[in-house]
Amino acid sequence: MIITSRSTARWGLLLCCSLAAPVLARPLTIIALGDSTTAGTPFLLSPLEQPPQGQGDEQAFYGYWMMKKHADWTVLNFGIDGQRSDEILNRLNDALIKKPNYIVVLAGVNDIYQEADLQSTAHTLATMYRTIQEANSVPVAATVLPFDRATKKQAAQIRELNAWIEKTADRFHIPLADLNKAARSDSNVDRLSGSSDGLHPDIGGYRNMGLTVMHAVEEMETAK
């Protein structure tokens, strides 16, 4: 086949347009699975805590900010205040039944607060990541947040657990959402940037968390 200058120009135009074409967005179902910092404490009771729709300020759910940016995304609040990672694992099947595209796993800070063994926490988190992958969904590994009332020991354990989460996300080849960084103080990494109770983020912190998870999902979608 002889390619004329007109053909060359035409194929060049098509190639140019193809390279310039944006990544097509698609509707996504995302489940936010976790404890109080997923539920939206102290401003919001999740639908699991106050059926059927929850109660309080919806802006305290980090998924609210994701859906503000992506109207075609559905982000479900599966947070329950005070739960350890093993208790959250026990609810994982309820999330998988929804056949979500992504499940954000934010768990572990209550393990530390209740003096659970960190190795056991790590094993539980790894089990959740693996189970989600085996169900053909994508786990998003989220680092746990600091809290202002943490002792030096608790703060050190949070840093240790988060280092493990970051390494494990890389080993599993799954998205990482550094929610600790999103919600912590610039001047003290062991404290929140803002909090009304010394334990949970303020609305601004929850907003930053939502945008961080959103970017992690966007990067994964772009890479597909």
For residue range 165-220, what is the model confidence (pLDDT) as tens digits?
Answer: 999 999 999 999 999 999 999 999 999 999 999 999 999 999 999 999 999 999 99
pTM of structure: 0.89
Nearest to 184 by CA among 215, 221, 212: 212
User: d(Cα 219, Cα 216) in Å, to the nearest integer?
Assistant: 5
Tally of CB atoms within 10 A around 181: 14
pLDDT tens, position by position, for the chain (224 residues)?
333 333 333 434 333 444 433 445 789 999 999 999 999 999 999 999 999 999 999 999 999 999 999 999 999 999 999 999 999 999 999 999 999 999 999 999 999 999 999 999 999 999 999 999 999 999 999 999 999 999 999 999 999 999 999 999 999 999 999 999 999 999 999 999 999 999 999 999 999 999 999 999 999 999 97
DSSP tag of 176: E
For residue range 157-172, what is the model confidence (pLDDT) as tens digits?
Answer: 999 999 999 999 999 9
Do 178 and 212 touch, CB atoms closer than 8 A? Answer: yes
> Length of the chain in residues, anyone?
224
User: d(Cα 220, Cα 224) in Å, to the nearest integer?
Assistant: 7
Q: Looking at residue 224, what is its pLDDT?
A: 79
Do 216 and 143 touch, CB atoms closer than 8 A? Answer: no
β-bridge partners, 145:
none
The structural domains of the chain, ordered by start, are 27-223 (3.40.50.1110)
User: d(Cα 125, Cα 130) in Å, to the nearest integer?
Assistant: 9
